[in-house]
Amino acid sequence: MTHFIILPGSGGSGPAHWQSRWESANPAMRRFLPSSWDLPDFTDWLAALEAAVIAAPEPPVLVAHSLSCLLIAHWQTISQRPVKAALLVGVPDPASAVFPGYGMAFARIPEGRLRFPSLVVTSTDDPYGSQEYAQARARQWGSRIAVIGPFGHINADSGLGDWPEGLALLEGLVSEA
């Protein structure tokens, strides 16, 4: 059985968010647990991701939203823990006008490819990161990219519900990894 680590962005993905819905529906999905969702501490978030990967019974698939996409780019350069793949949804651009100041510790994105297969999912109208920015990160990270249309930041406000199309993207990534 494939194991998944859910990595919400700041705020922690409430009950209407697709990550929370997926986690509720699938016992193989477990959320990483940093000390604070509302004031992300870079070092704490790195440690929480490391602990979650260590606790996984096999190399997990990382399912990240927003700020956690940047977290994964940093974490994978300092940890050698095995990961099967990563789904990176709503990658934020630290240079965007709406990027939160508390996230600046995550902003210096390491150069180079990710060391595991990955898929960047973006919308055509994300206020936190343009489609062009997501495409640039996908090229840098060696990720495939999926552009899903005008769904904002691909969060609870996007009206995706259980987001079956996203689950299909995740299943495709897992089957190719």
* Burial of 8 per CB tally in 10 Å (0-12, 13-18, 19+): buried
Q: What are phi and psi of 12, to 5 degrees?
A: 85, 10
What's the distance, Cα to Cα, between the start and end of the chain in Å? 14
CATH, residue 29: 3.40.50.1820
Tokens of 65: 């939203």
Query: What per-residue confidence (pLDDT) applies to 1?
Result: 82
| String of DSSP letters for 115-144 | SS-EEEEE-TT-TTS-HHHHHHHHHHHT-E
Tokens of 160: 């995706």
Please check whether residue 8 is in contact with residue 68, taking contact to mean a CB–CB distance below 8 angstroms: yes
Question: Helix, strand, or coil here: 173?
Answer: helix
* CA 149 – CA 76 distance, rounded (Å): 29
Query: What per-residue confidence (pLDDT) applies to 90?
Result: 98
Along the chain (177 residues), what's the average pLDDT of each consecutive run of 10 residues?
Answer: 95 95 97 96 98 97 98 97 98 95 94 96 97 97 97 94 96 94
* Burial of 163 per CB tally in 10 Å (0-12, 13-18, 19+): buried
Query: What per-residue confidence (pLDDT) applies to 177?
Result: 86
| Domain, as residue range, for 44 | 4-176
Q: How many domains does the chain have?
A: 1
